[in-house]
């Protein structure tokens, strides 16, 4: 059902829910100025397709092109601030008995908004590791200064084995962290309400979570300014942005 505000049935469902699951995508960080996954293909990377650049093969083929992209995105993430959508999700956890937060985003804006136990299904920009020995590599906490149009940048060498340092994200054709994915499926089956915000619902296996939840009897509300692949499985499809509608949902319920 399409609702352009916050439906009274949804408000009641939110108020009465004991276990709430939240699943976010790049759209939740858009109002913080972080380009969504597809919008991040600009400048030097404008002629690339995300699914071909965010892969181990692309990194093997041209590590400087890929590392430059991630450093540019890390700069964007570190220069951004959590928006009202991130803050509403953090606030929600103080109203419901149990809140589980899963994100496809690789930024740390949920954490900086105050959310705890943020489950990163697709990894993080802030935890690179050696591509050979997997040893974690610590980057300077300050935002790198990358040109707006991007540049190629040779990745650092691992101090332990000399291998190339890679971004700590899950690339296409890489497995998601098994424990986090298992928790996400379990949460779909244990929740009364799933809030899905800011995702196109096009990347698997995460894209199947809302349907798993719905089949388990969990009601699903989507927040997205436009229709997505998930519309067909959601109980409510709210047309609007995360920074507008998530705070509206929380303030109507409590
Ligand atoms: C795997 C990290 C197997 C990197 C990302 C069927 C089943 C299983 C797999 C597959 C399958 N079919 C195909 C596959 C393979 C593939 C896949 O799904 N391909 C797609 C293209 C069809 N999946 C994989 O490869 C996955 N791995 O299956 O491994 C395996 C098993 C064992 C052993 C080996 C292998 C791995 C997928 C993870 C890829 N990594 N990110 C990085 O960030 O660089 S994916 C990346 O794109 C994001 O993380 C996100 O998940 C995805 C989509 O991005 P969104 O977050 O949705 O953002 P997007 O830009 O698309 O949309 C933004 C949305 O926000 C829009 O709808 C917009 O309207 C909305 N919006 C905009 N502004 C706002 C807003 N909403 C609210 N408010 C706003 N202001
Ligand atoms: Zn190493």
**Could you report the per-residue pLDDT of 163-215, keeping only the tens digit for each?**
999 999 999 999 999 999 999 999 999 999 999 999 999 999 999 999 999 99
d(CA 34, CA 86) in angstroms, rounded, equals 13
Query: Could you give the 3-state DSSP secondary structure of residue 239?
Result: strand
Residue 232 has pLDDT above 70, yes or no: yes
Burial of residue 179 (number of CB atoms within 10 Å: 0-12, 13-18, 19+): exposed
Q: Where are the domains of the chain?
A: 1-32+82-123+176-254, 35-79+129-166
Range in 3-7, 76-80, 130-134, 196-200 the model is least confident about: 3-7
Query: Could you give the 3-state DSSP secondary structure of residue 216?
Result: coil
Domain spanning 35-79+129-166, CATH class: alpha beta
Q: What is the pLDDT of residues 94-142, one digit of tens each?
A: 999 999 999 999 999 999 999 999 999 999 999 999 999 999 999 988 8
User: For residue 38, what are the contacts with CB-CB under 8 A and spacing of at least 6?
Assistant: 50, 200
Written as one string, the DSSP assignment of 188-215 is HHH-SEEEEES--S-STTGGGHHHHHHH
Query: Could you give the 3-state DSSP secondary structure of residue 58?
Result: helix
Number of residues assigned to the chain = 254
User: For residue 27, what are the contacts with CB-CB under 8 A and spacing of at least 6?
Assistant: 36, 197, 198, 199, 224, 225, 241, 242
- For residue 4, the model assigns a pLDDT of 47
Range in 140-144, 145-149, 237-241 the model is least confident about: 140-144
27 CA distance to ligand 1 centroid (A)?
A: 12
Residue 63 has pLDDT above 70, yes or no: yes
Of 23, 37, 207, the one to substitute when testing ligand 1's pocket (max ligand atoms within 8 A of C-beta) is: 37
Q: What is the pLDDT of residues 24-54, one digit of tens each?
A: 999 999 999 998 877 878 888 888 888 889 9
Chain centroid, CA 143 distance in Å:
20
- For residue 197, the model assigns a pLDDT of 98
86 is catalytic: no
For residue 45, what is the DSSP state? G
107 CA distance to ligand 1 centroid (A)?
A: 14
Residue 2 has pLDDT above 70, yes or no: no
Q: Contact at 8 Å (CB) between 105 and 76?
A: no
pLDDT confidence tier of residue 1, bands split at 50, 70 and 90: very low
pLDDT confidence tier of residue 5, bands split at 50, 70 and 90: low
- 129 forms beta bridges with 136, 166
> Structure tokens of 229?
């692949």
Fold of 1-32+82-123+176-254: Rossmann fold (3.40.50)
Q: Contact at 8 Å (CB) between 205 and 181?
A: yes
Mean predicted lDDT score pLDDT of the chain: 95
Which residue in the block uniquely carries the two structure tokens 């136990």?
117
d(CA 128, CA 117) in angstroms, rounded, equals 19
Q: Closest Cα to residue 164, out of 48, 54, 64?
A: 64
Query: Could you give the 3-state DSSP secondary structure of residue 126?
Result: strand
65 CA distance to ligand 2 centroid (A)?
A: 20
pTM recorded for the entire structure: 0.96
Measured by CA distance, the residue closest to atom 75 of ligand 1 is 27
């Amino acid at each position: 059902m399409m609702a352009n505000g916050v439906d009274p049935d949804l408000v009641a469902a939110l108020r009465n829910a004991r276990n709430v699951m939240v699943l976010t995508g790049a759209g939740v960080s858009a109002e913080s100025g972080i380009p969504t996954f597809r919008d991040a293909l600009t400048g030097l990377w404008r002629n690339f397709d995300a699914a071909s650049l965010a892969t181990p093969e692309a990194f093997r083929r041209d590590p400087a092109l890929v590392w430059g992209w991630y450093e540019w995105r890390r700069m964007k993430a570190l220069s951004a601030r959590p928006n009202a959508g991130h803050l509403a999700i953090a606030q929600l956890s103080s109203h419901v008995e149990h809140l589980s937060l899963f994100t496809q985003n690789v930024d740390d804006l949920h954490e900086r908004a105050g959310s705890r136990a943020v489950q990163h299904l697709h990894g993080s920009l802030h935890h690179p590791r050696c591509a050979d020995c997997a040893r974690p590599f610590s980057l300077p906490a300050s935002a790198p200064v990358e040109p707006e149009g991007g540049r190629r940048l040779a990745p650092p060498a691992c101090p332990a084995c000399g291998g190339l340092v890679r971004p700590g994200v899950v690339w296409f054709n890489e497995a998601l962290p098994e424990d986090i994915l298992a928790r996400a499926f379990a949460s779909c089956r244990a929740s009364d309400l799933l809030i899905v915000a800011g995702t196109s619902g096009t990347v698997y296996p995460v894209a199947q979570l809302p349907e798993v939840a719905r089949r388990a009897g969990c009601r699903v509300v989507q927040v997205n300014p436009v229709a997505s692949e998930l519309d067909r499985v959601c109980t409510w499809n709210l047309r609007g942005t995360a920074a507008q509608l998530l705070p509206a949902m929380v303030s109507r319920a409590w």
